[in-house]
Amino acid sequence: MPFLHITTRIDDHPYDSLLREKGGTGFPTLMFLDPGGRKLMRYRGPRTVKGFEESLGDVEEFTALLKRAEQGDKKVAGKLFIRQLELEWFSFEEATRRYKKLTKVSGKEKKQIESLLVDTEVRTITKDAGRDEDKCLSAGKHFLGMWKDKQIPGSDAQLYSFWLFIANYAEEEGDKKLFKKTVAEFKKSVGTNRQYRKALKVLEERLENFTRS
Amino acid sequence: MRLVTPMKAATVCLLLASSVLAAPQSLEDKYEQKLAKRFVRYGGWESDYDVARARAKKEDKVLFVYFSRSYAP
């Protein structure tokens, strides 16, 4: 069922922030949702009939997994939870609560879940901080603690927020060494991603000014 | 009484016309323009989220969402 969502920026336009709510960041974004509005897949493949048909197969596989879990099949719980975390269905608190309840999880699944929980934590904190300066600095401090504990996110989107918030915190604290180290990590992890090249350039300029000051 | 010369009148008309042409479009106009695009009118796209979800539920289908914007090109 094709649905066209248009972000208008018109005051009180219904569902104008739907893209952001579903975790999208740019235009155009293609996504599969279930009738309840839950994200089933972010489509990143080729814009061809074949590409869309193949992705529909993946969507069907995921919805079948959901049905099996709803019918009480505990064997699929781990696999399903991993897909849900990848699709950003839960906040960090909700994800942690659900993870504690999971009983049948293999060692491999556990490793994957714990890695995805780091991404979920970074996403939740970043979203909560919004544009509030104090919250952003506090998030940066928290991420620094995660870094020290070797809790580093895996996805580029979360890595971007992670390093950027730490860099802002380092600047606020006047910690040049930390700022430099953070910019180097930013470059190493997402520096080759075209989406973040401009941000890297800005960070490098900030580093230069900061070092000179 | 001072009369406006034809040259002055023409200049004012031209200025008014150009200001109308250069007037920034409202967000509402941009949205309407987007909806009027050929791919929207003939592509079978539903543009109301509530209607789309209700139809998907009734027809037991998933939504294939194309996120676009009208506030900028």
* ipTM at complex level: 0.74
* Residue B16 counted as domain residue: no
Which pLDDT does position B4 carry in this prediction?
60
| Domain annotation covers residue B1 | no
Domain count, chain B: 1
**Domain residue ranges of chain A, discontinuous segments joined by +:** 1-71, 73-129, 132-213
Instruction: Determine contact: B42 vs chain A, CB below 8 A.
Output: no
Give pLDDT tens digits for A22-47.
988 788 899 999 999 999 998 988 98
Do B66 and A28 make contact, defined as CB atoms within 8 angstroms?
yes
For A1, the closest of B30, B43, B56 (CB atoms) is B56
Q: pLDDT tens for residues A71-106?
A: 989 889 999 999 999 999 999 999 999 999 998 889
User: What pLDDT is stored for residue A44 in this prediction?
Assistant: 85
**B49 in a domain, yes or no?**
yes
d(CA A211, CA A179): 9
Q: How many CB atoms lie within 10 A of CB A94?
A: 12
Distance CA A8, CA B30 (A): 8
- Give the domain extent around B51: 24-73
- Chain A positions touching B53 (Cβ under 8 A) are 35-37
pLDDT of A130-183, one tens digit each?
999 999 999 999 999 999 999 999 999 999 999 999 999 999 999 999 999 999
Please report the pLDDT score of residue A104 as a whole number.
81
- What's the pLDDT at B5? 67
* CB interface of A with B, residues 23-52, below 8 Å: 24, 27-37, 40, 52
The answer to whether residue B31 sits within a structural domain is yes
| Stronger pLDDT, B12 or A88, i.e. the higher one | A88
The residue among A53, A10, A11, A6 whose CA lies nearest residue A32 is A53
